[in-house]
């Protein structure tokens, strides 16, 4: 007799999740942010060169389980929804481990008229009270990517020198770095940040890293004061990344150019071929007001709140016994 019918987590974790979701909805209700729901199964999928996805068919039409609700939510914004949020399931192929499950829960929200600093204030307003109830500090640390990267690696993340990056990796004992990153500046930054910087971030409080190098743009717009940076922020608690946010790109031409660059990178990576999301591009062409948005992995946040070691400990059923 096996026990694979049993939940992955205990009742306490289920209760903590319910309480967390209640607090989130109460916060946005008080802020007059509209809760919405968008499709999980869509005709298009994102072009991120390092994400894989689940696909299915309906007749002869290919459909995709969404890795994020971002594109659909931006179409709502362009249609005049005002500020919105959503709690939804998302899916990413091949992601399973201590911090990953192929099916996971995202909180994603967008605030009309907010720049990056206002978005960071908003995230702090939501998260700090939640963390404080679980014994975390109420203070929040905000650090620029350039400053924190240089502090812990000695490298300027805005200037790429392969010999210098490789030497730092070897100093940290990361002798396989060149095999992983080759000559790709963005891969080197992600590699060194995750292994040399992230674990050194302040403990027991919310840490926000903002203004990323322009070679790590995702869907953020270029910084007005320095075009070597983009208005992007990531949130960390105890060295665990829980969120990614942007002062959103609203220019349809720039968005299409980034789609094309990512599609070329996917081809180089020998990843599954994808096409541009024409519906999103049409929405941006119709006009999207200045806004900022952020996505929080709620399962990871629950790991932190519940002081759990792995994501399975906060899921009712992990992929191994779903």
- pTM for this entry: 0.95
Q: Are strands 34-35 and 84-91 parallel, antiparallel or unpaired?
A: parallel
Q: Which two tokens stand for residue 64?
A: 């995709």
Give the chain's mean pLDDT.
95
The percent of residues in the chain predicted with pLDDT above 70, rounded, is 99
Per-residue pLDDT of 237-257, as tens digits, reads 999 999 999 999 999 999 999
For residues 32 and 35, give the distance between their C-alpha atoms in angstroms, rounded to a whole number.
9
Per-residue pLDDT of 21-53, as tens digits, reads 999 999 999 999 999 999 999 999 999 998 999
Q: Are strands 61-65 and 140-144 parallel, antiparallel or unpaired?
A: unpaired
For residues 308 and 149, give the distance between their C-alpha atoms in angstroms, rounded to a whole number.
28
3-state DSSP call for residue 304? helix
Query: Which domains occur in the chain, in start order?
Result: 11-139+205-321 (3.30.930.10), 143-200 (no CATH)
For residues 153 and 57, give the distance between their C-alpha atoms in angstroms, rounded to a whole number.
47
What does the DSSP assignment read for 153-205? Answer: H---TTS--HHHHHHHHHHTT-TTHHHHHTT-HHHHHHHHIIIIIGGGSPSSS
2 pLDDT exceeds 70? no
């Amino acid at each position: 007799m096996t026990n694979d019918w049993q939940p992955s987590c205990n009742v306490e974790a289920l209760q903590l999740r319910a309480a967390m979701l209640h607090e989130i909805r109460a916060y946005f209700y008080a802020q007059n942010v509209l809760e919405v729901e968008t499709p999980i199964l869509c005709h298009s999928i994102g072009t991120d060169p390092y994400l894989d996805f689940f696909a299915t068919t309906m007749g002869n039409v290919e459909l995709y389980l969404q890795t994020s609700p971002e594109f659909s939510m931006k179409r709502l914004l362009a249609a005049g929804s005002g500020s919105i949020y959503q709690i939804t399931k998302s899916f990413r192929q091949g992601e399973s481990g201590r911090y990953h499950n192929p099916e996971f829960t995202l909180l994603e929200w967008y605030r009309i008229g907010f720049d990056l600093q206002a978005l960071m204030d908003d995230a702090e307003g939501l998260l700090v009270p939640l963390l404080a109830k679980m014994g975390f500090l109420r203070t929040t640390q905000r650090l620029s990517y350039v400053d924190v990267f240089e502090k812990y690696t000695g490298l300027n993340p805005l200037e790429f020198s392969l010999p210098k990056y490789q030497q730092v990796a070897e100093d940290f004992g990361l002798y396989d770095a060149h095999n992983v990153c080759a000559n790709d500046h963005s891969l080197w930054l992600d590699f060194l940040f995750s292994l040399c910087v992230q674990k050194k971030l302040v403990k027991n409080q919310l840490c926000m890293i903002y203004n990323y190098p322009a070679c790590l743009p995702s869907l953020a717009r270029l910084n007005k004061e320095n075009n070597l940076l983009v208005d992007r922020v990531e949130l960390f608690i105890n060295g665990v990344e829980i969120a990614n946010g942007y002062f959103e790109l609203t220019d349809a031409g720039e968005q299409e150019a980034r789609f094309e660059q990512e599609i070329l990178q996917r081809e180089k990576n020998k990843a599954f071929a994808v096409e541009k999301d024409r519906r999103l591009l049409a929405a941006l062409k119709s006009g999207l007001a200045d806004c900022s948005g952020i996505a929080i992995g709620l399962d990871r946040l629950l790991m932190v709140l519940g002081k759990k070691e792995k994501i399975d400990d906060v899921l009712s059923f992990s992929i191994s016994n779903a």
